[in-house]
Amino acid sequence: MTKYDNKTEWVVSDIIEKVGWVTLNHENPLNPLSAGFIKQIYESCRSFDENKDVKCIVLKGSSKAFAAGADLKEMLPLTYAKISESRYIEKNWSYFSNIQKPIFAAVNGFALGGGCELAMACDFIIACEDAKFGQPEINVGAIPGAGGSQRMPRFIGKSKAMYAILTGDMIDAADAEKAGLVAKVFEKNEFEQKVNEIATKIANKSSALARLAKESVNLSYETPLEEGLRAERSLFYSTFALEDHTEGMNAFAEKRKPEWKNK
Q: What pLDDT is recorded for position 171?
A: 97
**Among 51, 46, 63, 60, residue whose Cα is nearest residue 12:** 60
Instruction: Report pLDDT for 89.
Output: 67
Average pLDDT of the residues in 19-28? 95
Which residue in 111, 117, 199, 203 is the catalytic one?
A: 117
List, in sequence order, every beta strand (DSSP E) within 41-156. 56-60, 65-67, 103-107, 110-112, 124-128, 132-134
Give the pairing type, strands 132-134 and 65-67.
unpaired
Does the active-site annotation cover 50? no
- Burial, 77: exposed, middle or buried (Cβ in 10 Å; 0-12, 13-18, 19+)? exposed
Numbered ranges of CATH 1.10.12.10 in the chain? 207-253
Contacts of 144 (CB under 8 A, 6+ apart): 113, 117, 135, 137, 152, 165
For residue range 75-134, what is the model confidence (pLDDT) as tens digits? 777 777 877 776 766 677 788 889 999 999 999 999 999 999 999 999 999 999 999 999
Least confident of 68-82, 194-208, 226-240: 68-82
Average pLDDT value for residue range 39-67: 94
pLDDT digits (tens, 9 = 90+) for 137-161: 999 888 898 899 999 999 999 999 9
Is 114 annotated as catalytic? yes
pLDDT at 88: 66
Could you say which of 20, 61, 113, 114 is catalytic?
A: 114
Give the residue range(s) of CATH 3.90.226.10 domains in the chain: 8-203
Is residue 70 flagged as an active site residue? Answer: yes
Catalytically annotated residue among 65, 67, 68, 70: 70
**Fold annotation for 207-253:** Lyase 2-enoyl-coa Hydratase; Chain  A, domain 2 (1.10.12)
Domain 8-203, CATH: 3.90.226.10
Over range 229-233, report the average pLDDT.
Answer: 90
Query: Catalytic pick from 35, 137, 146, 176?
Result: 137
Q: Is the pLDDT of residue 243 over 50?
A: yes
**pLDDT reported for residue 64:** 86
Check if 115 is active-site: no
Q: What is the mean pLDDT of residues 233-245?
A: 90
- Looking at residue 6, its pLDDT comes to 59
